[in-house]
A and B are shown apart, each in its own frame.
Chain A
């Protein structure tokens, strides 16, 4: 079974530029998550989708971050404009359903460096 795919794996941009990350979840997984992992911290949830609808985006900085999952499968996360403090690893995860305690499967992440 293929795992969660993410691209690109690494990205370096200047501050105020825009950037987009792509995620393809495990086939059949209805729930998709984007996490931000700052160096030395645990992952922090940015947004959760159930199929193509948003379940939780309470911690997404909506003035600069956006995410979509148009067909209920793959997803993109965009930052525009980027700030220095956005340097982090962006992890995508998926789970079969959105149930309590459901196992989340993580992709390898996209490491972003904002200069």
Chain B
């Protein structure tokens, strides 16, 4: 069965610092992978997705993610975090249904 693990429940970074959010998946074939962001009181917004091809995927808001098949990982990165990036981030894998991780809450400090 497919599953997603986000090892970090909560991460705090300073504004302007780099960010990496970890995601590991379990899937039987080439996975379809997604990163969503959820701001307080809001629904989920798609940041980026990977289906095939180039393993480095660019998304919105300056985010990127790298698919590493050997490590079953799809980590999300941003070179310089802004205060507005504070939110909950969800990694998801799947065909149907989409399976989400438990999320990582990002706090940004001045």
Interface residues of A (CB under 8 A from B): 3-4, 33, 40-45, 48, 55-56, 59, 91, 93, 98, 100-101, 103-109
- Give me 21 A-to-B residue pairs in the complex whose CB atoms sit less than 8 angstroms apart, sorted by A's number: A40-B103, A41-B103, A42-B4, A42-B102, A43-B44, A44-B100, A45-B97, A45-B98, A55-B96, A56-B97, A91-B43, A91-B44, A93-B44, A100-B32, A100-B96, A101-B51, A103-B46, A106-B36, A107-B43, A108-B41, A109-B42
Is B95 at the interface (CB under 8 A from chain A)? yes
- List the 5 closest A-B pairs by CB distance, nearest first: A42-B100, A106-B43, A101-B32, A45-B97, A106-B44
Cβ-defined contact, A101 with B102, below 8 A: no
How many residues of B are counted as interface, with CB atoms below 8 angstroms from the partner's CB atoms? 22
- Which residues of B lie under 8 Å from residue A59 when comparing CB positions? 97
